[in-house]
């Protein structure tokens, strides 16, 4: 059943030829689903791994999602996060004008993540 308030989250990673590379991102998605089952959570990748961001957004759109938050799962803001992702986000908005898209900062720039990584490093 479709809802006017259906929400989605896309964890967006770089991608890799190594199939094990995606396990941590998928673990985060699984954890989100466990603590917030009302959120449609998916993983998407820039290259070398499927699905890509447009495919994932289309899937969520088909489920009736009306707001999608994209979380770049990058530790730093390199060329992909700085240059490629804004272009992808603009294309998504053009393709899905009925969806409200929100782009979070790269996960490595989040204050909570910085604190957590420091605590892990000191443990």
Q: What confidence tens digit (pLDDT) does each residue in 32-56 have?
A: 999 999 999 999 999 999 999 999 9
The whole-angstrom distance between residue 77's C-alpha and the CA centroid of its chain comes to 15
Q: What's the pLDDT score for residue 4?
A: 56
Over range 81-108, report the average pLDDT. 93
Rounded CA-CA distance 108/93 in Å is 25
Backbone angles phi, psi at 85, to 5 degrees: -65, -45
Q: With 0.75 as the threshold, say if the pTM is over it.
A: yes
Looking up tokens 């259906």 gives 6
Across 17-31, 68-82, 103-117, least confident range: 68-82
């Amino acid at each position: 059943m479709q809802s006017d308030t259906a929400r989605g989250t896309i964890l967006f990673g770089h991608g890799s030829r190594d199939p094990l590379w995606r396990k941590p991102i998928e673990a985060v998605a699984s954890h989100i689903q466990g603590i917030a089952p009302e959120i449609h959570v998916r993983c998407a990748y820039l290259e070398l791994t499927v699905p890509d961001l447009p495919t994932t957004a289309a899937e969520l759109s088909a489920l009736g999602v009306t707001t999608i938050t994209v979380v770049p799962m990058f530790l730093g803001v390199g060329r992909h996060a700085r240059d490629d992702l804004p272009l992808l986000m603009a294309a998504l908005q053009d393709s899905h004008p009925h969806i409200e898209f929100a782009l979070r900062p790269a996960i490595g720039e989040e204050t909570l993540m910085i604190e957590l990584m420091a605590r892990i490093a000191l443990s």
